[in-house]
Amino acid sequence: MKSTRIPAVVAVLAALIVLPRFADANWTIVHAGTDVVEIDRDSIRKDSAGVRAWSRVRLEREARDVAGSYDTIRAENLYDCAQRRFTTLRRAYFQSGGLVREEEVARRRANPVQPGSLDERLMKLACQAPPAELATPDRIAAPAGEAGNAPAVARPVPMHADLRRGEEGDGAKVFAVADTAPADKPKLIQLPTIDKAALSQAAAAQEAAARASQEAGAKSGVGKPAAAVVPKPVSVAKTEARETEALSEKRIRELHYANSGPPRASRKKSAAAPAADPENPAQQMHKHWSYDGETGPAHWAKLRPDYAACASGKRQSPVDIRDGIRVNLEAIRFDYKPMQFRIVDNGHTVQVNLGEGSSLMVMGKRYALQQFHFHRPSEERVNGRSYDMSIHLVHRNDEGQLAVLGVLLEKGADHPLIQTLLNNLPLEQDTEMAPEEAIDPGKLLPENRAYWTYMGSLTTPPCTEGVLWMVMKQALQVGSEQVAIFSRVFRNNARPIQALNGRLIKETR
């Protein structure tokens, strides 16, 4: 019979190993406009790859995602001081000072530090710190005085080595960046001295050549005198002061900096990319139409020949859902599964692209879920009522037919899945984020699966008809601040209501 003492001893040793490296963290506040991030001066340490340091963001209010609630987020960054780059290595999430979870960044990418940014200020602090003992990638020296007065010894650094419930203190020093200068400040570019005499000679020669050309043209009667080229003076534009961010903008910055980390590699369409499939709204990235002005809905049909249905179509969407026929509609059979996602701001909406694996069955046909996106306010109306937002889940079957499931959103409690999407909201248009966490599209479905259904069209150009629409009768709740964040990105991206033209609307009894 095997002894159980060895595992017990291992457990005790493991508990000793995970004692925090900086239980008394030396937090220093770094400001950039309204952005505030703290860096732990005691965590700054040089190793063979660069300088490591932990920073944290304390959120304005509690945030929630599919993994739980948190109000503080830490990130361990590796700074390359010479190349002015940093890489996020790990993140940890705290709630009321207690560790909720931590995670290593699986796909690490070095990100350039932009001049004047918050990242630059953090890098200045990290790179100017006094040189610490060089540590190997696997072992690090424990700080003196940790765990009582025991001498500092080299020990392995496990994932939890610097994180423990209750270590999130409120004490922090304020750091004035203006009083310091980066150790790796780039040298100014030395421009060659301008030889004024040579410049005058060149100008005189140019003027003489122009005069000779003019005289030659006058004699031959052909051509016109060449106009003298006067170089325009180059002026240096003044840097404008940064406007104060609204609360929702600050919220995006907080969550994006600490929870999502730097943006993933941009996946923008190139000029040689294949043309978008007009039947697939997931591929539409057109920039020449909008929701207002000369490129708004009233003018869509005039923008391109293949947009003609936007004006001439008789089965257009969205519609005001009313006077539906109450029947025993078959239940929609959902087969939604947790999956990885990619999120992009395509200029018209926040769109979440999904891989294969989720689908629904209705009317004897299986439709695969391709993507979903948001509208504010809701494009659909019910008996004239407009909702705060709506979600459109776009499906396609093997025959290329589209089915769109509409879910209405009204203000109430925060929605965890929507918060996860906002956490990963891209900072730039057409930049696709590919987070490591998965989402379950089934969380976007209400408990009551009753619905309305009718035949309609895409609600964006080219307004293709023949789309099966199913709109859930029960609305989901979304937080008022979540709506406000979306509103900062898209003030209005809802197409006006279209004529029903005698179409039949059926609804669950």
Tell me the mean pLDDT in the region 237-252.
46
Report d(CA 71, CA 357) in Å as an integer: 33
pLDDT of 373 strictly over 90:
yes
At 316 the pLDDT is 97
Contact between residue 481 and residue 251 where contact means Cβ atoms under 8 Å apart: yes
Closest to 113 measured CA to CA, from 91, 83, 89: 83
Q: Check residue 233 and give its pLDDT.
A: 46
Q: Is the pLDDT of residue 164 over 90?
A: no
Q: Is 348 a catalytic residue?
A: yes
Per the listing, tokens 């309609």 go with 456
* CATH number of 19-179, picked from 2.40.30.10, 2.40.128.710, 1.10.1840.10, 2.60.120.10: 2.40.128.710
What pLDDT sits at residue 75? 87
217-221, 266-270, 322-326, range with greatest mean pLDDT: 322-326
pLDDT over 70 at 176, yes or no:
no
Annotated catalytic residue 399? no
What would the mean pLDDT of 489-500 be, rounded to a whole number?
94
Domain 290-508 part of CATH 3.10.200.10: yes
State residue 330 phi and psi, 5-degree precision: -65, 145
Specify the pLDDT at position 118. 77
Sign of CA dihedral 498, 502, 508, 509: positive
pLDDT level of residue 201 (50, 70, 90 thresholds) = low
Crossing angle (nearest 10°) for helices 416-423 and 480-489: 40
Q: Is residue 305's pLDDT more than 90?
A: yes
pLDDT in tens, 246-261: 555 555 555 544 444 4
| Residue 336 contacts residue 358 (beta carbons within 8 Å) | yes
- Residue 387 to residue 376: CA distance in whole angstroms: 8
Question: Which residues are within 8 A (CB) of 269 and not within 5 positions of it... i.e. 6 or more apart?
Answer: 285, 430
| Structure confidence at residue 31 (pLDDT) | 72
Question: What residues have CB less than 8 Å from 199, skipping those under 6 apart?
Answer: none
For position 349, what pLDDT does the model report? 95
Pairing of the two strands 506-508 and 325-327:
parallel
Q: Can 19-179 and 290-508 be said to share one CATH topology?
A: no
How big is the CA angle at 120 (ends 117 and 126), to the nearest 5 degrees?
150
Residue (of 291, 246, 212) closest to 34 by Cα position? 246
- Which of 256, 286, 373, 415 is catalytic? The answer is 373
Q: Tell me if residue 379 is catalytic.
A: yes
Of the ranges 33-42, 60-69, 122-131, which one carries the lowest mean pLDDT score?
60-69
Average pLDDT over residues 156-166: 36
Higher-confidence residue of 486 and 149: namely 486
Could you give the CA distance from residue 38 to residue 49 in angstroms, rounded to a whole number?
23
Residue-averaged pLDDT of the chain? 74
State how far the Cα of 45 lies from the Cα of 134, in Å rounded to an integer. 8
Q: For residue 71, what pLDDT is reported?
A: 83
The mean pLDDT value for 132-144 works out to 39
State the pLDDT confidence band at 289, using cuts at 50, 70 and 90: very high
In whole angstroms, what is the distance from residue 132 CA to residue 191 CA? 38
Mean pLDDT of 3-26: 48
Q: Looking at residues 35-58, what average pLDDT do you find? A: 87
Residue 191 has pLDDT above 80, yes or no: no
Q: Evaluate the omega torsion of the peptide bond into residue 426 and state whether it is cis, within 30 degrees of 0.
A: no
The closest of 338, 348, 335, 376 to 283, measured between CA atoms, is: 348
- Comparing 80-84, 316-320, 331-335, 386-390, which segment has the lowest mean pLDDT? 80-84
pLDDT of residue 203: 63
Phi, psi of 118 (to 5 degrees): -65, -35
Does the active-site annotation cover 31? no
| Residue bearing the bigger pLDDT, 10 or 374 | 374
Q: Select which of 256, 286, 348, 415 is catalytic.
A: 348
- pLDDT of residue 182 exceeding 50, the answer is no
Share of the chain above pLDDT 70, in %: 62
At 140 the pLDDT is 32
Phi–psi pair at 483, nearest 5 degrees: -65, -40
Binned at pLDDT 50, 70 and 90, residue 145 comes out as: very low
Domain spans in the chain, listed from the N-terminal domain onward: 19-179, 290-508
Instruction: Output the DSSP codes for 282-323.
Output: GG----S--SSGGGSGGGHHHH-GGGTHHHH-SS-S--EE-S
pLDDT, mean of residues 332-338: 96
Query: Which is catalytic among the residues 38, 88, 256, 375?
Result: 375
Q: Which of the residue ranges 203-217, 283-297, 442-456 would you say has the lowest mean pLDDT?
A: 203-217
Range name among 54-63, 131-140, 285-294 with the lowest pLDDT average: 131-140
pLDDT digits (tens, 9 = 90+) for 415-440: 999 999 999 998 888 888 899 889 99
